[in-house]
Every structure is written in structure tokens, then in C-alpha cells.
A and B are shown apart, each in its own frame.
Chain A
């Protein structure tokens, strides 16, 4: 393709090709501190292309392609090309990743132990991970926890933290030194702004961590906590995994290992300050 950018995020290498320069320039800037794929061989390819040649210039619309595609994915305007690239990379992981059990979760680490946070969209996974990342935790990722079926450890996937709508202001305030991408307004997911993981998160991204606590946060309720029984954790994590079925027995073994060895709590929180306090208290009580 005309314009190409390659990057490695944690153990996964991507090559993004584009019919336009602009999305690639954005990626080069935002992922400037990241390495290239190992041996320059990517695990996945993403293509940002025009559906018709003239659509490169006339009302340019970005189609998302790659090794794995969703056939009915709608194109995005060129101004949202960065979002298209991020969606394309996520899609490759969700549909094509076979080396790790993928859990839709944010992950932060402290003292070699990982805290996994998973829940429905809007639960605050990315927001809490970003805020904890500015409070002494290492950000390992805001989208996917990569569980190694062989060791049970979690590998980092610290892509750009995707903040949506109200979370943008919360994190801009809570992470005053943060480096942010451009505001992408009125996307199909609402307003989006990306936070670049800090230098420490990028420098340590090859260091896995042992899962120590699973949290199911829920935003918008009075502060509350409860234990989550293993069977419920199992069901919720199978729902939170994009490749559990594809991994077959390896996925079953990896998941049951986590469920049986890692404590899980559900927390309700009314605001992020409350959530941070709850998380720190739970962590201290481990």
C-alpha cells in the first residue's frame, strides 16, 4: 500500500497499510516510542483502503481490512482514520489471536502482580486503568489481557488507551501529565480521545505479570463490594473472551486455572475517586 507503519505492542506485531498518509502520520506520532515488530515480521496486517479509487479524494471514507475482517463493517470518514486503524488492530486480535487467551479487560500491575478489570462497555475499565497508571501502577493494557495458556501469566498489550465521552475529561483531569491524541468527535462510538501509555508502561511491556485479582467494576452505583463465586467468574470470563472457543482445550485449561487460583470481586462505584480507594483497599487486603 502507499503508506505503511509497523509497530509492536507487547508481544504482537502489526503492519498497518493505508491509502492515505494522514492515519499513518497519526500512528507514527502516537506510537513513536514503540518498537518495530520482532525481526520486522508482523503477526497481523491491517489495511485502510478506499472502497473505490475516487473515494481516496471525494468524501474519503476509510474501509477497514486486514488478515481478519468483519464483512459488514461500515467505513469511517478520513478524519477518523486513527480510530479505523485502532479498530483494525483490535479486530485482528479479537478474531485472529491464537497464542494467548484473550480477555476483554484492562490490566494494571504492581510488584509483579496483575489486577484485571473487566465488565460491560461503560463500566470504567479504561478510565480506571488510566488513572491507576498515573498513581504508581504499571499500565499493561486497557483492552485485552493476554493470558499465556502455558504459564498462566498475563502479557501486556499497552496500546493507546481509548477514552470515550465523559471518560475523556475525567482522565484529562486525573492524568495532567498525560500525552493525548487528537479529539475524534462524533465517531460511531461517540467522542474518542486516546491516551498514550507512559514511558514506563512501554519500557516494561515485555514483562508479564501473575494475575492476582479480578475485578468486575460497575459505574454509577453507591459504593459496594461482593465476592464473585468461581462459577460466575468462569461464565463472565468466557463471555469476556473473544477466542475462548477457538482455543479449545487450551482455553479451558487457561481459564479454569485463573478462575480457581485468582480471587474475584465485583465493585460498584459512584465516581472514580471512590473506585480508586476501593481498588487500593482490596489490593492491600490480598
Chain B
């Protein structure tokens, strides 16, 4: 896992609307709307188009956001969900 590079789906594939603590994301490729909340928006923002490894993502999230008790297992689970939804791809 640690060597793999994760990155956010291409911005042109997403339509985003910020709604209070949630973010509505329309995924153009699938036509599915996702309503996501912390830490998913932070994960997408951190990964960006360039992408990064799991370890770099964890460290950046830890230093830039207050995400409480987000341990490695929880972060991996959230990342898997975003990959399954097509909002994050593995390079």
C-alpha cells in the first residue's frame, strides 16, 4: 500500500457543491451524486491531481487538518471507499 500513489479524480470529471459540513460531488463518468463529509473532502483536497502515497497523505492530513482519531485503518477504509466511488484513482 505504501508505494501506491493515490490521486483525486480529474477535476473535469467532478462537479462540486459545498453544503455546510458536507460536500455534494457529482461524478460525471458514472452520473452518481455523492454526499461526503470529513475526512473525504480533506482527502480529495490533499491528494489533488498530482497524487501522493498513503504515508504522505496521512502525514499531510495530520499536520494540516484536525481530523481527530483518524488512524491508518480508518484512513485506508475511507480511501478504499473513495476509490470504489471513482473519486480517487490509484496510479
Please list the 9 inter-chain residue pairs (A to B) with the smallest Cβ-Cβ separation, ordered nearest first: A231-B22, A256-B17, A230-B19, A252-B26, A231-B19, A229-B20, A230-B20, A231-B20, A248-B31
Q: Is A245 part of the contact surface with B, judged by Cβ < 8 Å?
A: yes
Q: How far is the CA of A248 from the CA of B33 in the complex (A)?
A: 9
Contact of B19 among A234, A248, A249 (CB under 8 A): A234
The answer to whether A256 touches B31 (Cβ under 8 A) is: no
Contact bitstring A226-254, B, C-beta under 8 A = 1, else 0: 00011100110010000001001100110
Where chain B touches its partner, the secondary structure class is: strand
With A230-B19, A231-B22, A252-B33 given, name 15 new contacts (CB 8 A): A230-B20, A231-B19, A234-B22, A234-B24, A234-B35, A248-B31, A249-B28, A252-B17, A252-B24, A252-B26, A253-B15, A256-B17, A256-B24, A259-B17, A259-B19
Q: How far is the CA of A4 from the CA of B26 in the complex (A)?
A: 43
Q: List 16 A-B contacts (CB under 8 A).
A: A230-B20, A230-B22, A231-B19, A231-B20, A231-B21, A231-B22, A231-B24, A231-B35, A234-B35, A248-B31, A253-B15, A256-B19, A259-B17, A259-B19, A260-B17, A260-B19
Give residues of chain B (1-45) contacting chain A, Cβ–Cβ below 8 Å: 15, 17, 19-22, 24, 26, 28, 31, 33, 35
Query: Of B20, B28, B35, which is in contact with the most chain A CB atoms at under 10 Å from its CB?
Result: B20
Q: A231-B35, A238-B33, A245-B31 are in contact. Are A252 and B20 (CB under 8 A)?
A: no
Q: How far is the CA of A230 from the CA of B18 in the complex (A)?
A: 9
Where chain A touches its partner, the secondary structure class is: helix
Interface size classification for chain B: 10 to 19
Distance in Å: Cβ of A53 to nearest Cβ of chain B = 43
Give every chain A residue within 8 A of B22 (Cβ-Cβ).
Answer: 230-231, 234
Contact bitstring A244-286, B, C-beta under 8 A = 1, else 0: 0100110011001001100000000000000000000000000
Give every chain B residue within 8 A of A252 (Cβ-Cβ).
Answer: 15, 17, 24, 26, 33
Give every chain B residue within 8 A of A256 (Cβ-Cβ).
Answer: 17, 19, 24
Q: How far is the CA of A231 from the CA of B17 in the complex (A)?
A: 10
Q: How far is the CA of A234 from the CA of B28 in the complex (A)?
A: 18
Closest to B22 in A: A231
Q: How far is the CA of A229 from the CA of B19 in the complex (A)?
A: 8
Give every chain B residue within 8 A of A259 (Cβ-Cβ).
Answer: 17, 19
